[in-house]
């Protein structure tokens, strides 16, 4: 894993139970296709979520260089949650 796709140790790393509890409005860090970004979940259907990239949350580890604002990703691509930082989940 490179730095952008490795979990950030400063944020919660979700287990299966926490992934199952995520809902609309939760902020999560996603690693997909060599990109890393924070997104606000808009919808979850089964193992697939859609959301809007929150570029203002970019950091040195996760620079949000993904080319679009709206994303679709698998829940297993979530590396961190924003719980306790950006949302209360």
pLDDT bucket at 1, cuts 50 / 70 / 90 = very low
Which CATH code fits 16-81?
Answer: 2.30.30
Token pair of 62 as six digits: 């996760």
For residue range 37-60, list pLDDT tens digits in order: 889 999 999 999 999 998 888 776
Cβ-contact 74, 47 below 8 angstroms: yes
| Domain regions of the chain by residue span | 16-81
With bands split at pLDDT 50, 70 and 90, how would you rate the model's confidence at 78? very high
Task: Look at the pTM and tell me if it is higher than 0.95.
Answer: no
């Amino acid at each position: 894993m490179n730095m952008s796709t490795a979990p950030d140790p400063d944020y919660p790393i979700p287990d299966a139970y926490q992934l199952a509890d995520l809902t609309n409005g939760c902020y999560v860090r996603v690693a997909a296709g060599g990109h890393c970004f924070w997104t606000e979940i808009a919808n979850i259907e089964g193992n697939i979520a859609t959301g809007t990239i929150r570029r203002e949350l970019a950091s040195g580890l996760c620079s949000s260089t993904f080319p679009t604002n709206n994303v679709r990703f698998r829940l297993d691509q979530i590396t961190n949650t924003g719980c306790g930082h950006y949302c209360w989940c």
